[in-house]
């Protein structure tokens, strides 16, 4: 299996965070990436590392608002120019509907944009988000890794179709920072750009030929990756691909849910600890709205009582038996591959999920369950913080897909 990876994703390295009243080293650390990379490097017979390509800001802007992306790419320099500490940009005051319900949102935003701290309050929603001088580089690279994975997946699918061999295709985007907590215009939960959502839209909006034309060598230049109003290529006029997102991260992917909540072409499934971060979403009552009603499936699980068997039972039933999932008949599967369900995870963890082979079985379900069988799968790295275990857990999911 090809794995898309770049060392630039390790450059985002904030010195600390404040979580539940405790100041501690930044949990979403480069060591996470290094653990997984070391594990896949040890098995060259199964995994092959490839470098990301560059598809510009355009696919990112098909999901995220332009002013938000401009914020991500400029906030560190703006902060330092104000004479604020260079170690990390962190917010301290965030917008809240109950506090600002009587004032026109445009007036609020006009005031907030006047200062770096105000901009943090508009575009960030929690204290997990910190910017360093290299955060935008890592974030941009992370998105390009996911986009490269999407492109390579279509190439593999096209090659398999021409050979008529019926082989399933899969790619792993080993990217960091993660993405599933970011929505179109706000960062949170260690997430800046929603890599899964950007990849889904890329797969839907562009043909393989258009992706080929967009693809360039990745040479990061901050001046070229700030927002400059670049024209968008012509989108494919073919029918939209139907894409099913299977989010197995411990935390609910509130950003991904929000982006596709009214979209019937994307079926979002999330298994997550509940109630837990992000604290306001993840219930079974959230089923989508408008044309997207019924295409959002949340499976909240009690982290204190969920065992390996319970977790696999829920995943099996939604992928094998759920009628909405079967009728959706996805063209492509995108897996938001969090590894923080492991019972020892320092900030998450299903306390009864203790068998590494559960991860192998997750990979097998993504290949062989009735709703996934024969469909190409794009694995995109999300959370997971038991650093010493991450490489093993990631490999077992991928090997479960390869060997099942």
Residue-range domains of the chain with CATH:
2-68+130-403 (3.40.800.20)
DSSP assigned state of 246: E
**DSSP per residue over 259-304, as a string?**
HTTT-TTEEEEEEEESS-TTSS---TT----GGGTT-EEEEEE-TT
Which candidate, 52, 63, 252, 260, places its Cα nearest to that of 171?
A: 52
Per-residue pLDDT of the chain (404 residues; tens, 9 = 90+): 999 999 999 999 999 998 888 899 999 999 999 999 999 999 999 999 999 999 999 999 999 999 999 999 999 999 999 999 999 999 999 998 888 888 998 999 999 999 999 999 999 999 999 999 999 999 999 999 999 999 999 999 999 888 877 677 999 999 999 999 999 999 999 999 999 999 999 999 999 999 999 999 998 887 777 776 666 666 667 789 999 999 999 999 999 999 999 999 999 999 999 999 999 999 999 999 999 999 999 999 999 999 999 999 999 999 999 999 999 999 999 999 999 999 999 999 999 999 999 999 999 999 999 999 999 999 999 999 999 999 999 999 999 999 99
Is it true that the peptide bond before 278 is cis, omega within 30 degrees of 0? yes
**Under 8 Å between Cβ of 238 and 208:** no
The label of the residue with tokens 């703006």 reads 78
**Angle separating helix axes 387-403 and 30-41, nearest 10 degrees:** 40
Half-sphere exposure (CA, 13 Å, Cβ side) for 218? 23
Question: Against a cut of 0.75, is the pTM above it?
Answer: yes
User: Tens digit of pLDDT for each residue in 224-275?
Assistant: 777 766 666 666 677 899 999 999 999 999 999 999 999 999 999 999 999 9
Integer Cα distance of 377 and 157 in angstroms? 10
What per-residue confidence (pLDDT) applies to 235?
Answer: 66
Question: C-alpha angle with apex 251: 136 to 267, nearest 5 degrees?
Answer: 90
394 neighbors 343 (Cβ within 8 angstroms): no
How many Cβ atoms are within 10 Å of 333's Cβ, its own excluded? 24
- Give the Cβ contact number of residue 311 at 10 Å: 22
Helices 135-163, 195-205: inter-axial angle, 10-degree rounding: 40
- What is the CA 66 to chain-centroid distance, rounded? 19
| Cα 157 → chain centroid | 22
Dihedral angle sign, alpha carbons of residues 315, 319, 320, 324: positive
- Could you identify the residue written with the tokens 């997990």? 128
If we measure between CA atoms, which residue out of 318, 183, 182 comes closest to residue 248? 318
**Rounded to an integer, what is the distance from CA 246 to the centroid of its chain?**
11
């Amino acid at each position: 299996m090809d794995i898309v990876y770049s060392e630039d994703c390790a450059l985002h390295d904030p010195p600390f965070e404040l979580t539940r009243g405790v100041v501690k080293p930044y949990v979403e650390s480069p060591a996470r990436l290094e653990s997984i990379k070391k594990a896949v490097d040890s098995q060259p017979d199964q995994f092959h590392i490839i470098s990301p390509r560059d598809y510009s800001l355009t696919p990112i802007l098909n999901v995220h608002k332009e002013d938000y992306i401009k914020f991500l790419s400029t906030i560190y320099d703006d902060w330092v120019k104000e004479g604020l500490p260079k170690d990390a940009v962190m917010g301290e005051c965030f917008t809240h509907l109950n506090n600002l319900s009587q004032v026109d949102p445009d007036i609020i935003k006009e005031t907030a944009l006047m200062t770096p701290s105000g901009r943090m309050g508009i575009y960030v929603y929690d204290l997990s988000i910190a910017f360093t001088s290299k955060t935008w580089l890592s974030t941009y690279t992370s998105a390009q890794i996911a986009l490269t994975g999407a492109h390579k997946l279509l190439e593999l699918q096209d090659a398999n179709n021409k050979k008529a061999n019926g082989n399933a295709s899969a790619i792993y985007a080993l990217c960091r920072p993660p993405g599933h907590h970011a929505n179109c215009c706000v960062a949170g939960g260690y997430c800046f750009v929603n890599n899964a959502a950007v990849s889904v839209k890329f797969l839907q909006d562009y043909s393989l030929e258009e992706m080929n034309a967009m693809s360039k060598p990745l040479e990061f230049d901050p001046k070229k990756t700030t927002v400059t109003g670049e024209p968008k290529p012509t989108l494919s006029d073919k029918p939209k691909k139907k894409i099913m997102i299977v989010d197995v991260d411990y935390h609910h992917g509130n950003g991904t849910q929000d982006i596709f909540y009214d979209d019937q072409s994307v079926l979002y499934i999330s298994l997550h600890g509940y109630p837990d971060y992000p604290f306001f979403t993840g219930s079974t009552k959230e089923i989508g709205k408008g044309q997207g009603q019924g295409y959002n499936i949340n499976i909240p699980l009690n982290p204190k009582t969920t065992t390996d068997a319970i977790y696999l039972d829920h995943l099996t039933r939604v992928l094998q038996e759920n009628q909405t999932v079967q009728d959706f008949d996805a063209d492509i599967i995108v897996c938001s591959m969090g590894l923080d369900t492991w019972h020892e995870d320092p900030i998450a963890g299903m306390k009864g999920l203790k068998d590494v082979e559960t991860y192998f079985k997750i990979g097998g379900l993504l290949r062989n369950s009735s709703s996934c069988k024969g469909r190409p799968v794009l694995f995109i790295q999300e959370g997971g913080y038991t650093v010493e275990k991450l490489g093993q857990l990631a490999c077992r999911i991928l090997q479960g897909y390869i060997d099942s």
